[in-house]
Each structure stands twice: as C-alpha cells, then as structure tokens.
Amino acid sequence: MALIKSIRGFTPAFGKNCYLADNATVIGDVVTGDNCSIWFNAVVRGDVHYIRIGHNVNIQDGAVVHCTFETAPTKIGNNVSVAHKAIVHGCTIEDNVLIGMNAVVMDNAVVGKNSIIAAGAVVLENTLIEPGSVYAGIPAKKIKDISQELTRDLLERISKKYIMYAGWYRGDT
C-alpha cells in the first residue's frame, strides 16, 4: 500500500478514480484531481509548500514532485505526464504537457500548455516555456513548435493510456 503521510496538519487528498502504486509516497499538502496515477517509487512531497495536481495526470516511476519552503509551490495542470525519474520542483506545469524522462523543471519556471520538455532537459529557475513548443538540452532551449496533430496524438494519448494502465492495477476490466 502506498505511503500517504500527514505532516504539519496537512493530509493528501485525492480525486476520484486515482491509482497509487504500492510503494508510491505522497506527503502533506497535496491535492489531486480525478483519474490521476502515482507510480512505483514516485514521491510527491508537499511538506514545505503545497502541491496541486489537475485531472488525468500521471507521475511515473521514480519521479519526484516537490517545492521550496514558503516561496515556490508546485502546480500541475490537466492531462500532464511526468515521465520516469523526472523532477518537478516548485514550478507551474500548465495543461497538456509531457515532462520527459530524467528531465528537471526548477523553481518558478512555467511550462506553457501543449508543450514537451525533452528527456534529460534541465529547465532552469524562472524560465518561461512557450506554449506549444518543445524544449531540450541543458539548459533547456526551444527546438521547435508542436503541431496540433502532435499535441493530440502524443500528449493526449499518453495521458489516456496511463488512465487505462491504472485500471489494470486496480483490477478494472
């Protein structure tokens, strides 16, 4: 069973139809929307500030979502995929975003809607990611715009697939 821990008077709250892997950890001032999943070895730690997660969000294996004490909460929109071993820290992730494997998004960065942060990219503090674009590298730089087809085919597909995968683990048919 997932570790769900209260701290400083805050207890995590989950929307409908959420899935938490057996060894996922969720602590403190964390609120999720519906159809979210937090996967194996992922940590969502709202101990020093709040974390708000929209609907249809998946936090994949080994990912860390955290914030900075009293200065940088973490806000994640709807239909967001935080891929394996990514770090999302004290930033804002708008709707329909993919944070790639091993990517890092730092304090006060804003990732605009319909965007992709490539695997291994590092989004530095206070960076504003343009909506509808792909950023890659260290530090992350814009490499191209995203077409509406890619947004629909990739970003929405991943979000929906993780809802399906979560159903497998819950035993849905």
Summarize pLDDT for 32-55 with one digit per residue, the tens: 999 999 999 999 999 999 999 999
Q: Percentage of the chain with pLDDT > 70?
A: 99
Q: Is the pLDDT of residue 173 over 70?
A: no
Question: What percentage of residues in the chain have a pLDDT greater than 90?
Answer: 90
**Interval 46-80: pLDDT, tens:** 999 999 999 999 999 999 999 999 999 999 999 99
User: Minimum mean pLDDT among 39-43, 114-118, 149-153, 165-169: which range?
Assistant: 149-153
Say how many residues make up the chain.
173
pLDDT at 165 over 80: yes
Confidence of residue 154 (pLDDT cuts 50, 70, 90): confident
The model's pTM: 0.96
Which band of pLDDT confidence, cut at 50, 70 and 90, is reported for residue 24? very high
Please confirm whether the linkage preceding 73 is cis (ω < 30° from 0).
no
- Domains of the chain and CATH, by start: 3-170 (2.160.10.10)
Summarize pLDDT for 97-144 with one digit per residue, the tens: 999 999 999 999 999 999 999 999 999 999 999 999 999 999 999 999
Confidence band of 150 (pLDDT split at 50, 70, 90): confident
